[in-house]
């Protein structure tokens, strides 16, 4: 039997971090060797798995990180940048679901793919991966139909539209050979005028404890197609991220996608 994959979790005290830790406690395919939280976090220095047999404690930086196979990151742009520094310095693969990054960090991630294996996804649900495939096919088959993307998340989410909604928009735009940067419409108020042909509209809902919902509406004359995915348990994303980490271990440097895992 091969040895377990040596993992670090970046953003370990967040919702996704905690979901990952819950799964890792019971999965012999992985060994959690490091868990990073934000500086000043109340978890910093605390035991990750309280008990007499586990001495692993949360850290606030990468200075004491051991040799690792994969870093799994669900944090924020600044924390992701620090994790990327570690991965590049040590040849460690990176799985990240962090969204809302700026162009400078985007360029760094693209450059990192020349040196390490990087797998990025706005959403690690296997169902969302299938939704993206279906939307890509439908958008190409009906290029003249109007397309609207509606997403809903909990009230604590920081970025909008969600990274998943944007990824869906990019997939549909690519299928139609158009540029999302010029086709996207992110807000409508007052009297914006008639809908522009070929545009891709986005709408955002925030509230309560919604885990994640994404709906793509392709609207033609007298008919429409509605493609939807609803996540009701955050563990679906954690399971997908761990599957991605196990698959990425040992891969060559490059930019990988969840489609590759499937």
Cα(198)–Cα(259) distance, integer angstroms? 27
Q: Find the domain containing 249 and state its range.
A: 5-120+235-261
Question: For 77-116, how does the pLDDT look when each residue is reduced to its tens digit (9 = 90+)?
Answer: 999 999 999 999 999 999 999 988 999 999 999 999 999 9
240 and 178 assigned to the same domain = no
Q: What percentage of the chain reaches a pLDDT higher than 70?
A: 98
Residues 227 and 239 in one domain: no
- The rounded distance, in Å, linking the Cα atoms of 170 and 123 is 14
247 and 224 in one domain?
no
* 53 has pLDDT over 90: no
Residue 236's H or E segment, with its range, is helix 235-248
Same domain, 93 and 22: yes
How much is the pLDDT for 26? 84
Q: Could you give the C-alpha distances from 63 to 31, 83, 252, in angstroms and in order?
A: 19, 11, 26
The CATH number covering residue 145 comes to: 3.30.360.10
Is pTM beyond 0.95? Reply is no
pLDDT of 227 reads 98
pLDDT at 262 over 90: no
Residues 110 and 10 in one domain: yes
Q: 45 in helix, strand or coil?
A: coil
- The pLDDT assigned to 99 comes to 85
- For residue range 160-186, what is the model confidence (pLDDT) as tens digits? 999 899 999 999 999 999 999 999 999
Q: Which of 25, 115, 153, 221 is catalytic?
A: 153
Q: Say whether both 246 and 205 belong to one domain.
A: no
CA angle 67, 99, 88 (to 5 degrees): 25
Considering the domain architecture, whether residues 13 and 114 belong to the same structural domain is answered as yes
Residues 65 and 106 in one domain: yes
Regarding whether 209 and 151 lie in a shared domain, the answer is yes
Give yes or no: residues 215 and 253 share one domain. Answer: no
Q: Is the pLDDT higher at 49 or at 107?
A: 107
Say which residue the tokens 């809908």 belong to. Answer: 195
Does the pLDDT at position 4 exceed 90?
yes
229 assigned to active site: no
> Which element (helix H / strand E) includes 248?
helix 235-248
For 175-215, what is each residue's pLDDT tens digit? 999 999 999 999 999 999 999 999 999 999 999 999 999 99
The overall average pLDDT reported for the chain is 94
Residues 36 and 90 in one domain: yes
Answer whether 92's CB lies under 8 Å from 62's CB: no
221 is catalytic: no
Residues 239-259: tens digit of each pLDDT:
999 999 999 999 999 999 998
Active-site position among 154, 156, 157, 214: 157
Classify residue 254 as left (phi > 0), alpha (psi -120 to 50) or beta. left
Is 248 found in the same domain as 204?
Answer: no
Residue 80: give its domain's CATH number.
3.40.50.720
- Per the structure, the count of domains in the chain is 2
């Amino acid at each position: 039997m091969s040895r377990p994959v040596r993992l670090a979790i970046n953003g370990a005290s967040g919702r996704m971090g905690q979901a990952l830790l819950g799964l890792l406690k019971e999965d012999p395919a992985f060994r959690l060797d490091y868990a990073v939280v934000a500086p000043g976090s109340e978890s910093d220095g605390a035991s990750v798995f309280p008990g007499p047999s586990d001495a692993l404690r949360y850290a606030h930086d990468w200075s004491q990180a051991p040799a690792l196979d994969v870093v799994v990151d669900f944090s924020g742009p600044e924390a992701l940048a620090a994790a990327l520094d570690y991965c590049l310095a040590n040849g460690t693969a990176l799985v990240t679901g962090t969204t809302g990054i700026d162009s400078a960090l985007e360029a760094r991630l693209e450059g990192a793919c020349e040196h390490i294996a990087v797998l990025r996804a706005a959403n690690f649900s296997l169902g969302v991966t299938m939704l993206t495939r279906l939307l890509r096919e439908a958008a190409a088959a009906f290029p003249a139909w109007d397309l609207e993307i509606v997403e809903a998340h909990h009230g604590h989410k920081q970025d909008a539209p969600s990274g998943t909604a944007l990824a869906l928009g990019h997939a549909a735009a690519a299928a139609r050979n158009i540029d999302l940067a010029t086709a996207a419409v992110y807000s409508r108020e007052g009297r914006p005028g008639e809908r522009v042909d070929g545009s891709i509209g986005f709408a955002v809902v925030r509230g309560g404890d919604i885990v994640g919902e994404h709906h793509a509406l392709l609207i033609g004359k007298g008919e429409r197609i509605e493609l939807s995915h609803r996540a009701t348990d955050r563990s679906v994303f954690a399971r997908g991220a761990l599957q991605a980490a196990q698959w990425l271990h040992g891969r060559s440097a490059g930019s990988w996608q969840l489609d590759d895992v499937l």
